[in-house]
Structure 1
């Protein structure tokens, strides 16, 4: 069985590209899919989604399901309205150039999140954020229950400590003084994570060669055992082998421009599942070769199931043929209008 998917684009009106019009409707997209209700999406001139809606048909109610969004001049979402009438309100720091006390570095920092119920009374503050002054990184996060997570940084802006609030465990005991400490090498690379229970994760890096600066090993320690993940890289710095803590290795092969062309999963019963990828001259995926496993049909030959991708002269995707070398081929065609939509 097949079906036709249709997209219709309507420029609602001309909108000057100024910040004050960021919440005005500019473009509307109608999406028709087989045996599904019509979906309508509305965007502003920047491409931010303002409204999405469709009609509920399966339950026989034919009600309109809709969600809407509002943004500030920086493009950050300030209001999100759920289909059930509830809403989330986001407050950000706004720099005022006319106020000497206003700090431009803080501009756009998320400060608080409020939850509004359907009758818009007594909004609940569900999150509040503060920031340190040097790098404007999050310093505290306080949730609705008034519990706070604290973050500490070094002079380079690296996160060095996370302090968690006290917590009551299911057995009734209180877990306190919970924190995670992080250490870095002189170049700023993370080398150690240490938790309250002395659970430690260490990072080792290659110091020279094609993998210089890349992760060599990640070792996880606890009171009883340790697991080591290790990595190997090719001459261009692409990962070529990853070995998990149980000795299972996954192999990767890249071409000269860094595109993944082959993946071999860990061996199972002496055999590896192999995936291959081919690209066109525009560096876009052209073919995927997937392991067929135990699948077979009268048409399939070889050891792979193939997905194929076709593009027009402008390099837009126009056709996808899944399982193209099997008796169950699925073809999806994409047709664009003169606006390339």
Structure 2
């Protein structure tokens, strides 16, 4: 293998001297997006953890790196400290933005007290637009058809761009909104992650059973640019996981198992090429050009991968391991 070229390197800024539970700074996530000028933004997290007598603290800050420039800055602070009697800080759970503009963001997080939950939602122009410990938001999604419609899944919906929120009271718990139609919800059963998948095409007024079996704990949905193919991560039985796909908009019993593994894995679609799927499993990256019908080994790195992002309309793929972010093409790493 050619010598690996990296664009970011995380230094060890402290030594693990307290105990084995401490974690030195390392990459923990990689996502990406393209702004309206065609610039790639790599949104990566750096995680660290410290533990000692009577306290613990952790950080998982989100940074914005623009390859080929000097831009590499913090985007969201994410960190907390817990003492014996109190805690402080906040974590960022999920985020989205308007107009492919990183300055126009909305995100869901948790005010850390270390004793009780403090979920909140914040906009770029309003620090606090929602705060209710009963509604913990896992997924923030801005409708692609109506940018005033924002979802805070599984329980919340906003009709005015996230300034005010209503509680969703539906037969099943929404876990994903189709990017091709904001009235299409994929859901599972409330308070049960070992459940079936249901689909609604009328904004949650009615649901149809579309898939059964396994566990649907924290599934991730991916929507192909053709508007028909849908993929989701799926837990068969821990630790066995799979990627499932439907060629018919996720309709009843069109879901097929495309890939199985006992590892955590990461999926990224090429938004400029229908049928193109990149899948990172351990140190290996696999590629499918036919909607997941077959996967072939694309690249193998030296360490376990924690996230991937495919730049559309190019041959560049970005992958993160614990201490490096790689820019990969068809012929180079």
Query: Per the shorter chain, which TM-score range?
Result: 0.3 to 0.5
Bigger proportion of residues as strand: 2
Task: Point out the structure with max Rg over C-alpha.
Answer: 1
- TM-score where L is the length of structure 2: 0.34
- TM-score where L is the length of structure 1: 0.33
